[in-house]
Amino acid sequence: MSQFRTVAIVVAFLVLLGVGFLFLQGPKPHVEIKAEPLWTIGFFEITNTLFTTIFVTITILGIAIFATRKMSYIPDGLQNAMEAVIEFLYNLVENTVGPKHAPMMFPAIATIFLFVIVANWMALLPIFNAIGKIEEVGVEEDQFFHEVVEFQDVGVFAVVPGSEEIELHFEESECDGLEGEAKEECLVEGRAHAIEEAAAETDIDEGSKVGILLPFFRGVNTDLMSPLSLAIASAIFVEWWGISTLGFIGYGKRFVNVGRLARGNPMGLIDFFVGILEFIAEVARLISFSFRLFGNMLAGEILLLMMTFLIPLMLAIPFYGLELFVGAIQAFVFAMLTLVFGALAVTSHDDHDEEHGHQSGGEVAAAHQVE
């Protein structure tokens, strides 16, 4: 019987593969790196990623509320699952910084981890990047797209299998050589001409809109702003932990290290420059944290869109597995890195004229060499 089941699964796979490839192919996905605004209130744009962040927050709060109602000493169900998660995170924090500092650092680390993992995994739901409103093609620079799709006007728009993309042929280089106003006019005219040409070739129904899809839901970390704000928050956490543990002067000694110099030892110059380098390293960490998370999530989103475009139903499945894995790893890495740099920040940086060297501890020593 299990042989029959294996054959049935293989046959179903091949059938769905064929169906997807033959009937369900749609237009090429439009990839936008910047997050598109859905509504604008005055000068503040509510982008689709900000809109999605609200849902991520509601999900996390909802899980927290449901897991903690009617708490019992012998945990069961959702409470048990969440206790496992909290225990995992607390053990992680405690193993890295020791029981003295763990309670101080745990809430921030756990929040970063949970936010990033829920945000990354939520981006795999089917409604993401699929349903939205139309940004119609126009002659302004930010309204002109090279490949547009015709959408039927049914209220909420989605990319429908079978629709073809309409190519608008217009190269900006055709207007090179003109300057200022003349160049503006040339560009606008060229774009309008391209739109008219395409409209004449393909017949467009009345009442349907031509443009690109602006999705309502988009993965939170695919917009550079979210990883950047998390990175800034984690930098603020690390500095705060350092200052609250060592005091302002004690922590400042890490960056402005004039101890040895003040004592007359010329080797102190090296310490001074190392201090400046530490400061630069702090700033470089912001860029590295944000781009790591942003790059991974953006690449995953583009990968899934392109795989779904190539063979609609089946090809995306292994990549969903990859995305689940990568989303979890990136959450873990972001939290761990914040933790490690926090551990580094709370170790005291006393002057060492004697030979006893830096604080030992695997992660702390390793973190000195990175970035």
Partner 1 sequence: MDIVTFAPLLELTDDSMRFIGAGIAIGLGGFAPAIGIGWLVSKAMEALGRNPEAQPVIQTNMILGIAFAEAIAIYALVVAVMIGFVF
Dist. CA 229–CA 287, nearest whole Å: 11
To 5 degrees, how large is the angle CA 269–CA 271–CA 275?
A: 115
Q: Is 284 in the site for partner 1 (CB under 8 A)?
A: no
Task: Provide the strand spans (E) within the chain.
Answer: 37-41, 44-47, 131-136, 147-151, 157-158, 165-167, 209-215
Alpha carbon separation from 368 to 92, 246, 280, 317 (Å, rounded): 20, 19, 13, 40
Q: Quick check: 105 binds partner 1 (CB under 8 A)?
A: no
How many Å apart are CA 269 and CA 289, to the nearest integer?
30
The answer to whether 306 contacts partner 1 (rule: CB under 8 A) is no
CB nearer to partner 1: pick between 151 and 289: 289
For the window 320-339, what string marks contact with partner 1 as x by the rule CB under 8 A?
Answer: ---------xx-xx--xx--
Q: Which of 302, 130, 146 is nearest to 210 (CA)?
A: 146
**335, 113 contact by CB (below 8 A):** yes
Could you give the string, one character per residue 5-44, with x where binding to partner 1 holds by CB under 8 A and - elsewhere? --------------------------xxx-----------
- Please list the alpha-helical segments (H only) found in 73-215: 78-122, 180-201
21/309 with CB nearer partner 1: 309
**Least distance to partner 1, CB of residue 367, Å:** 9
Supply the minimum distance, in Å, between the C-beta of residue 152 and partner 1.
27
57: exposed, middle or buried (C-beta count within 10 Å: 0-12, 13-18, 19+)?
middle
Q: What is the DSSP letter of 173?
A: G
Smallest separation (angstroms) from partner 1 to the CB of 32 = 8
| 170 lies in the binding site for partner 1 (CB under 8 A) | no
For partner 1, which residue of 121, 295, 319, 359 counts as binding (CB under 8 A)?
Answer: 295
Q: Does 182 bind partner 1 (CB under 8 A)?
A: no
- The values of phi and psi at residue 149, to 5°, are -130, 150
360 contributes a contact to partner 1 by CB under 8 A: no
Least distance from partner 1 to the Cβ atom of residue 302, Å? 7
Under the criterion CB under 8 A, does residue 304 sit at the interface with partner 1? no
**Strand order of the sheet with strand 209-215?**
157-158, 131-136, 209-215, 147-151, 165-167
Interface with partner 1 (CB under 8 A), residue from 148, 194, 198, 340: 340
Distances (CA, A) of 114 to 85, 239, 245, 324: 9, 22, 25, 14
Minimum CB separation of residue 173 from partner 1 in Å reads 5
Cα separation, 33 vs 223, in Å, equals 7
Binding string, residues 60-99; x marks residues near partner 1 by CB under 8 A? --------------------------------x-------
* Out of 2, 3, 72, 173, the residue judged to bind partner 1 by CB under 8 A: 173
- Sites of contact with partner 1 (CB under 8 A): 31-33, 92, 171-173, 288, 291-292, 294-296, 298-299, 302, 329-330, 332-333, 336-337, 340, 362-363, 366, 370-371
